[in-house]
Amino acid sequence: MQRFDNAKAAALALRPDDPVYCFRPEVLKADARQFMGMFPGKTAYAVKTNGEQLVLKTLVEAGVTAFDVASPGEFAAVRAVSPDAEMLYMHPVKAQSDIRLALEKYGIRIIAIDHEDEITKLSRIVQALDIDPGTITVFVRIQTKGQAAYELSKKFGAGPANAVELGHRLHRHGYKVGLCFHVGSQIEDPDVYERALASADWVRNRLGFDIAGLDVGGGFPAEYGEDPRRKKREMPSLGQIMSRLRGDLREYGFDEVPLVAEPGRVIVARAFSLIVRVLLRKGRRLYINDGIWASLSDSWTGKITLPARFIADPAIRSRNGLEQNIVPFKVCGATCDSVDILSRPFWLPETIDTGDWIEIGHIGAYSLSLRTRFNGFYPDTFVEVTTPFEEGEAPQGLASLETMAD
Ligand SMILES: *Cc1c(COP(=O)(O)O)cnc(C)c1O
């Protein structure tokens, strides 16, 4: 992989017409180690956030030994980078053939459920393979209420009373029993974790046996851009959220229980930026070579503000407007689909023009993993970059939260 100091150097050297992902392995390692240093238990990286081989490999190098996986594709991706990484199969609803594959081929012994029929499926395979249930830890996923950029508890999780029943049933079958929840993504209110811990505590107190573990899921917030035109939102740092969580874990007496977290976004967001090219400027519209069907669907659905940096093409001799004037542009994606328009403007220097590039920062989570081949466009070019995004020139622009009239 080609290596550059920063994205500007890459853009000017390669003059790319296709989107280019700028990977920062040292940032990824630092963010993974920071999380592991703060969380008082096992860190299992959530592979769905970004399952690129170079990411998984770098995480193994950083000391990550456990991965949260949900599908045969993810089992294989983890195995490909590490023969002995531990996998936690935390998808509550699984195909029977996938459960078999997990237990038989990949040796997975940690699994999540939220319904009795999942226990039936699991037990069928466990019997067929003649595995001692006592070697398997089954986490009962508890429903939680929260507010996150993405609310995931609507889809999965057993109500507390039902979770108690499931726990008893698993215990009778001879499994080790843990409790887990996942409160959503990009959590900005530590009370969300506390409410989930209160539910877990309620369930645990009715089980009548010691639980084998508590998995607090993911949802830890990454830092994104800030729109300087808006009142600064008070957002707790990861350190603040973690110290609250550690305090709450102690308060509910979970500090004696083996703990697991499944961070995704907070570990990988800063590790990538994306260079896109302006294919056409039409007034206050920019047509770029990426969009909601490629790398930008998360910022589109998640209402996230990404920092952006203008990279001027030196070949453009004359420019209209003033470099210092930062103005909003409506951004249209690469495909012919009329919904492929970002819901929020990019704020960029007024002089930006056809042929220039834009570096979009903090794009490592849920961007590469969500890209599609729709319309024949599939960004897949990578370079390595050594300088962290924030350490370069100040970003002049951003993809803001404000909506824009047509
Ligand atoms: C998606 C997911 C995660 C990771 O969530 P982040 O918000 O990226 O930290 C963790 N656990 C489960 C069960 C998930 O579905």
On the question of pLDDT at 306 being above 90, the answer is: no
349 lines ligand 1 (CB under 6 A): no
On the question of pLDDT at 76 being above 90, the answer is: yes
For the purposes of burial, counting CB atoms within 10 Å of the CB of 165, is it exposed (0-12), middle (13-18) or buried (19 or more)?
Answer: middle
On the question of pLDDT at 403 being above 70, the answer is: no
- 332 three-class SS: strand
Does residue 180 carry a catalytic annotation?
no
What separation in Å is there between the alpha carbon of 345 and the centre of ligand 1? 28
CA distance 300 to 297: 5
The whole-number pLDDT of residue 304 equals 78
Q: Which CATH class is domain 40-262?
A: alpha beta
Cα torsion through 39, 40, 42, 46, rounded to 10: -20
Closest residue to atom 5 of ligand 1, CA basis: 218
The domain locations on the chain are 3-21+269-405, 40-262
Residue type for position 270: R
CATH 2.40.37.10 fits 3-21+269-405, yes or no: yes
94 lines ligand 1 (CB under 6 A): no
Ligand 1: atom nearest CA of 263 is 9
pTM over 0.85: yes
Can you name the residues that pair with 282 across neighbouring β-strands? Answer: 285
333 lines ligand 1 (CB under 6 A): no
68 lines ligand 1 (CB under 6 A): yes
Closest CA to 96 of 66, 64, 129: 129
Mind listing the pLDDT tens digit for each residue in 312-361? 999 998 888 888 888 999 999 999 999 899 888 888 999 999 999 999 99
Tokens representing 373 are 């081949």
**Which DSSP symbol is given to 221?**
P
The region of weakest confidence among 15-29, 38-52, 111-125, 144-158 is 144-158
The region of weakest confidence among 36-45, 132-141, 392-401 is 392-401
Residue of 182, 220, 265 best suited for mutating to test ligand 1, as the one with most atoms within 8 Å of CB: 182
Residue of 151, 152, 185 best suited for mutating to test ligand 1, as the one with most atoms within 8 Å of CB: 185
- As a whole number, mean pLDDT of residues 146-169 equals 80
The whole-number pLDDT of residue 111 equals 98
Contact (Cβ atoms closer than 8 angstroms) between residue 218 and residue 67: no
Within 8 A by CB and 6+ apart from 245, the residues are 190, 193, 216
